[in-house]
Structure 1
Amino acid sequence: MSTWHWAASPCDGTRLFYSDDDHGDVRSPVVLCDGIGCDGYVWRYLRRSVAPRRVLHTHYRGHGRSQPPRDLARVAITDLADDVAAVLDDARVSRAVLVGHSMGVQVSLETWHRHRDRVAGLVLVCGAPSHPLRTFRGVRTLEDLLPAIERLIVRAPRLVNGVNRALLPTKLALAIAGRVEINRALVQPDDFMPYLEGLARMDVRVFLAMLAAAGQHSSEPWLGEIDVPVLVVAGGRDGFTPPERSRQMAASIPNSSFLEVPDGSHTAPIERPLEIDRAVLDFLSGIQ
């Protein structure tokens, strides 16, 4: 049974939406942590596969059904990690397995770092532990350009939001995504369009502020301290998070497991769901 709830952020009181699929299972629940601009599209298959284990899925501040941040400066990875802990408190969950995709990898790692007693395990999918903008498509161009993009957007945010709402949830945007990143031979349009639709609804100012904050974040200094089970999943054709970054992260975490999906892109969980879901279920079988 899935129910909807709202928790309050500890840093500024922003109302945070989360869904709770509670089937009465007593094992550690799974918490799904999205990438930036996402509100759940990538978990379409995994969410069903992990049942009957309890599943919590929260929308970050400024995403989906959650409120925009009351303070636009509070969009750092540390803020998002504390928001995850607030959701655990509200749901009365003592410990959970965090499953993060893309920026959700950083959020999951930071949640472990700041709230170690609340995390029973980590599944880190298509994400980097630090400075993701420096290796976006194998170069640091996005990191260099982001300040100029922010200065441009701040002049006419309503106009940009309007253009996004008109253009992003279209077949044209889907075709461009197929050219730029996703594996169109494996992705069903109905699986990816919810991402474009959700991104179109997001305030571009929140997106860019959060992207800049994620670009400055690093978990690398303490990866070697992680003492819970960890599974790292990489897409062999991931241009947003090159697979070698995931491989290096796995090598830095003691006793972690690593899976590379050779033809998977940054959206590997909806491209190769059977392979990834099987690996996640095998991983979860060792965690009560």
Structure 2
Amino acid sequence: MSPPGHATTFRQDTLRVPDGADLYFQVRGEGTPGMVLCDGLGCDGFAWKYLLPYLARRHRVLRWHYRGHGKSSVPEDRTRIGMAYTCDDMARVMDAAGLEKAVLFGHSMGVQVALEFHRRYARRVQGLVLVCGSYGMPLDTFHDSTLLKRIFPTLRRAVERFPLHTARIVHGALTTELVVQLAIRLEMNPELIARNDLAPYFSHLARMDPVVFVRTLDSLASHTAWDHLEYVDVPTLVVAGEKDRFTPGWLSRKMAERIPASELLTISEGTHTAPLEVPGLVELRVERFLRERLGVESGESAPKVG
């Protein structure tokens, strides 16, 4: 392993999968076990701003973009989007990055991706770190309400019928500072989150094809790994934000209780962006998890909390 502070390996590339989608990925650092970072819906890596370089000091870390997200394209058949393709995509990207096995980190949608990947490719998973996400069917619990589930079919039909008009509306809204500030105050902890840490998320979402977004969300809405949780046989750390409105904290507790011998970190003031709000706390807990459950040598110095 390269000691902290030394230059680390960096590689970025695209991988064309059999149905024609070009998947973007980047690899940083060296060392085992390897790590794979799985994003949330509509994200291209913003949640890993602090954790990625921290992990890359001692590990090979793979970050990649789902179909239609970030720098990844979609195939000519634009129906081939969502959970049905994500696990096979990730297996191919791991091959391209030289990772036979890895610890999977999932944020938001990435929790579903990581759990489903373990179901299909258990031999390739050494551990799970599940951050601010649900095991499935997120529309059923968004804001502790079924409202989004009830209105989503109407929203999807509107987006599918008027994609260009929807894209213009979304771009206009998400590039307005008032909307950004409202989102920060209503959905995140404004005392802990930095505006600049969220800028990449709003920028990416403003550029994203809304049809890809709703089709991916539709695939999440009907997917669940609940039935698989009791069969998770690798060390698992669940991280929850007590004030998370997207995936309420009780979901994380329920998930941790069902996964054998899992560990739970609840961040009392944390929201859906807890890895950005209290990065030092998350890093310390991840380091302890890797050391105690996977036998990974700890870093030379502890990170700052907060």
TM-score, with structure 1 as normaliser: 0.96
SS of 1:154 mapped into structure 2: helix
- CA offsets, 1:63-112, max 9 Å, x none? 11111243332223231111111111111211011100000000000111
Q: Is contact 2:86-2:113 (8 Å) kept?
A: yes
- Cα distance in 1 for residues equivalent to 2:61 and 2:247: 26
Q: Is contact 1:169-1:193 (8 Å) kept?
A: no
Give the superposition deviation at 1:3: 1.3
Q: Is contact 1:62-1:69 (8 Å) kept?
A: no
* One-letter amino acid matched to 2:13: H
1:15 is aligned to 22
Residue 77 (structure 2) pairs with residue 71 (structure 1): yes
- Cα distance in 2 for residues equivalent to 1:273 and 1:189: 15
SS of 2:224 mapped into structure 1: coil
Q: Percent identity?
A: 41
SS of 2:161 mapped into structure 1: coil
Q: Is contact 2:74-2:81 (8 Å) kept?
A: no
Q: Is contact 2:20-2:74 (8 Å) kept?
A: no
Give aligned pairs, total. Answer: 285
* One-letter amino acid matched to 2:15: A
1:160 is aligned to 166
Residue 185 (structure 2) pairs with residue 179 (structure 1): yes
Residue 47 (structure 2) pairs with residue 39 (structure 1): no
Unaligned ranges ≥5, structure 2: 1-8, 297-306
1:118 is aligned to 124
1:275 is aligned to 281
RMSD: 1.2
Q: Is contact 2:142-2:246 (8 Å) kept?
A: yes
- Cα distance in 2 for residues equivalent to 1:94 and 1:64: 25
Give the superposition deviation at 1:2: 1.7
- CA offsets, 1:135-187, max 9 Å, x none? 00001111111110011122221111122223213322221212321111111
- Cα distance in 1 for residues equivalent to 2:251 and 2:105: 18
Residue 221 (structure 2) pairs with residue 215 (structure 1): yes
Unaligned ranges ≥5, structure 1: none
- Cα distance in 2 for residues equivalent to 1:83 and 1:243: 29
- Cα distance in 2 for residues equivalent to 1:137 and 1:235: 13
1:2 to 10, 20, 37: 10
SS of 2:136 mapped into structure 1: coil
- CA offsets, 1:18-77, max 9 Å, x none? 01003x32x111110000000011100101211221110001110111112433322232
